[in-house]
Amino acid sequence: VYKIGEFSRLGQVSARMLRHYDQLGLLKPSQTDRFTGYRYYTVDQLARLHRIIALKELGLPLEQIGDLLQSKAGLSAERLRGMLLMRQAELEHELRDRERQLTDVEARLRQIEQEGRPLPYEIVTKAVPAQVVASVRAVAPTVGEMSYYCYSLYAQLYEGLRQHGLAWLQPEITLYHNEEYVESDLDVETAVPVAPDPMGLQRSLAGAPFTARELPGSDLAAALIYEGPYAEMTPAILALLGYVAAHRYLPAGPLRELHLSGPAHDEQGRPDPAPVVELQLPLQPLQR
């Protein structure tokens, strides 16, 4: 018969753990002194302790281990199997998660080695909701004309909305329909969210200089928040595309540019002095 210190050395666990297991009912000492509270263990309890340690090593919570040890004669194969299957699924999920984290950490380390400093923006993945937008679309011949094209497309859009007596919401969303990053013939769409119309928005818009449609949501999108002038946004776009490529994601729709700090130009055509822009790229969920 052993005192707690001896038994803890035999079992290679701390005395605190033995007290803890006592408290949880996992491993009651074979005898406890009623006056001093001293716990006394016997050798044959080592087998039970070993079992607890072995199951704990698999990552099972103590409560489940307690359930298993309840049955006096050996473990119930059925219950154990159930717990192992759950733990297996959990482990597979955790493994994928850590692998992704490790990939990301390593990518960032490489990026710092190469550039000498971290990126001035962060890329995260998130879900984006579906919404109804009114929009106009056109092709700008060159990058240099983009700014003017966008400005006039938005002006045209707002003018049309006003004429049709339609209210709109924030933020403006510019969509880039080209499959890849290009510097000429940019297929661009400017959009603003509108309240979904139960009466049938489409019919009332016959002949309008814009269309209404649902901009689909996406459970998975890469997003980046950019602060600075629109003219200098190209590196951010490339960083986002690079991130997506590095993670072997595939785009699932046009790049979206959300003007979070308000319209890119006010009604007098003056540019937003301090733009905050969110770039979103919807992605296909990855199947392995």
Footprint on this chain of DNA (rule: CB under 7 A): 3-6, 8, 14-17, 19-20, 35-39, 56, 61-63
Nearer to DNA, 18 or 212 (CB): 18
71 forms part of the interface with a second copy (CB under 8 A): no
For residue 132, which of 198, 192, 187 has the smallest C-alpha distance? 192
Nearer to DNA, 35 or 180 (CB): 35
CA-CA-CA-CA dihedral for 256, 261, 262, 264, to nearest 10: -70
Residue with tokens 């996406």: 218
The secondary structure of residue 233, as a DSSP letter, is -
Nearer to a second copy, 64 or 204 (CB): 64
CB of 4 to a second copy, least distance (A): 17
Distance between alpha carbon 286 and the CA centroid of its chain, in Å? 13
CA distance 238 to 226: 12
CA distance 242 to 246: 6
28 forms part of the interface with a second copy (CB under 8 A): no
220 forms part of the interface with a second copy (CB under 8 A): no
Q: Which stretch binds a second copy (CB under 8 A): 18-26, 78-86, 136-144, 229-237?
A: 78-86
Nearer to a second copy, 87 or 213 (CB): 87
State the sign of the Cα–Cα–Cα–Cα dihedral 66, 69, 72, 78: positive
CB of 49 to a second copy, least distance (A): 8
Nearer to DNA, 5 or 120 (CB): 5
- Could you tell me which residues come within 8 angstroms of residue 139 by beta carbon, excluding any fewer than 6 positions away? 185, 186, 187, 188
Long-range contact set of residues 29-38: C-beta below 8 Å, sequence gap at least 24: 29/4, 30/1, 31/1, 38/3, 38/4
Q: Which stretch binds a second copy (CB under 8 A): 138-146, 173-181, 199-207, 274-282?
A: 274-282
Binding stretches for a second copy (CB under 8 A):
10, 12, 43-44, 46-47, 50-51, 53-55, 57-59, 74-75, 77, 80-81, 84-85, 87-88, 91-92, 94-95, 98-99, 101-102, 104-106, 108-109, 112, 116-118, 120-124, 126-127, 223-225, 227, 260-261, 274, 276, 278
